[in-house]
Structure 1
């Protein structure tokens, strides 16, 4: 297999939501620390999040518009600023909307290892955005001309970064796209003893309307573990 083993690692409420008011409960906050602990137990070479998740948690740079003005043309070739990082964080941002302040996610985000940022983009992004990433020392790889080919993205993550195992940490549409494309190998799931019934928040998997619907994924249960704060940990392998 010329791609990493992909572990979808998530925390949900009892009603299957990955965000919402339940995250403010004492139980969810306690179990989030366990979520990070379990992720670190895998010691992954890379972890991946979608644009919305990154924007809400890690990408806090000044909002600057890149409109394709006067600038030097930047070739559409992959740029790896740090080929020997201990860990990578992969930010899926096809249109180049994320704004950063540095080229790493520090250990202050309850992670044991600093993660070098690698942005997954399409060739349609502005030259100015590529220059912006280069100036910050942020790596980027191209996943397609106008749309991302996740199979190709994973191949590059494997060959360019040497990643054999990767955590997929949301959000819902990125999880759903990976699942629909047959690219999830393992599900690592913490369930909090909470529910809020909010229909406006995202569930664990959400398939974008643009994708052709595939048959329902089926899983084999490998582990059940009771956690503190009345939480549950489940681990599944996907059936091929």
Structure 2
């Protein structure tokens, strides 16, 4: 599962209205419920486009905000892409994951989002493990990418990490695995 920015870098497709009239069903359209693996994207405003129903062998499922126009849903459906439209302005990713589990059998999700996706999902208690590979290189630019970001308040007091494993990799890199605990739960 990734956010809109990461998925746009992967899909690279532009807008293309369907060539034939296509029904825009709300709130759910599952084009391939029997798929064995899924590429899930969080796209609140419906800016993502796809040239097919899969990426790297994974069937595409898009989690959308309630204000996405029917024309965008029709484009996704025509491309064979599955989607779930939120009934609220803010996407409740937790509720949508429960739905994907029930309807598509998805029980485990690998989150590979950017900081703006990772932070809110961690704060919401939807992440149970953090896996990091640290390489011996520093970028250090102002505004460099972060792994996790959550507003002004951050995640202090909301999330606690506990080291599960530390594995030495080649070229001086290390793989760190942490369990994620939510003290308020």
Q: TM-score, normalised by structure 2?
A: 0.88
Q: Which one of 48, 55, 64 corresponds to residue 105 of structure 1?
A: 55
Give the 4+ runs in structure 1 shifted more than 6 A: 211-214
Q: Report the counterpart of residue 52 of structure 1 in structure 2.
A: 5
Q: Deviations over 1:151-204 (max 9, x none)?
A: 211111211211111100011110001011111101111111110111222211
Structure 1 distance, partners of 2:175, 2:102, is 32
Instruction: Provide structure 1 residue ranges, at least 5 long, that are not aligned to the other structure.
Output: 1-47, 66-70, 107-113
The aligned length equals 179
Q: Report the counterpart of residue 91 of structure 1 in structure 2.
A: 41
Q: Does structure 2 conserve the Cα–Cα contact (< 8 Å) formed by 1:76 and 1:123? A: no
Q: Per the alignment, do residues 231 and 117 of structure 1 end up closer, same or farther by CA in structure 2, a change over 3 Å counting?
A: same
Q: Which one of 37, 47, 62 corresponds to residue 14 of structure 2?
A: 62
Q: Per the alignment, do residues 64 and 82 of structure 1 end up closer, same or farther by CA in structure 2, a change over 3 Å counting?
A: closer
Instruction: Provide structure 2 residue ranges, at least 5 long, that are not aligned to the other structure.
Output: none
Q: Per the alignment, do residues 75 and 99 of structure 1 end up closer, same or farther by CA in structure 2, a change over 3 Å counting?
A: closer
DSSP-derived class of the 1:54 partner: helix
DSSP-derived class of the 1:167 partner: coil
Q: TM-score, normalised by structure 1?
A: 0.69
Structure 1 distance, partners of 2:38, 2:121, is 19
Structure 2 distance, partners of 1:212, 1:171, is 15
Q: Report the counterpart of residue 160 of structure 2 in structure 1.
A: 218
Kindly state the Cα deviation for residue 217 of structure 1 after the two structures are TM-superposed: 1.3
DSSP-derived class of the 2:11 partner: coil
Q: Per the alignment, do residues 153 and 230 of structure 1 end up closer, same or farther by CA in structure 2, a change over 3 Å counting?
A: same
Structure 2 distance, partners of 1:91, 1:72, is 22
CA-atom RMSD, angstroms?
2.2
Q: Per the alignment, do residues 170 and 125 of structure 1 end up closer, same or farther by CA in structure 2, a change over 3 Å counting?
A: same
Instruction: Indicate the structure with greater helix content.
Output: 1
Q: Report the counterpart of residue 134 of structure 1 in structure 2.
A: 77
Q: Per the alignment, do residues 73 and 103 of structure 1 end up closer, same or farther by CA in structure 2, a change over 3 Å counting?
A: closer
Structure 1 distance, partners of 2:176, 2:22, is 50
Q: Per the alignment, do residues 126 and 193 of structure 1 end up closer, same or farther by CA in structure 2, a change over 3 Å counting?
A: same
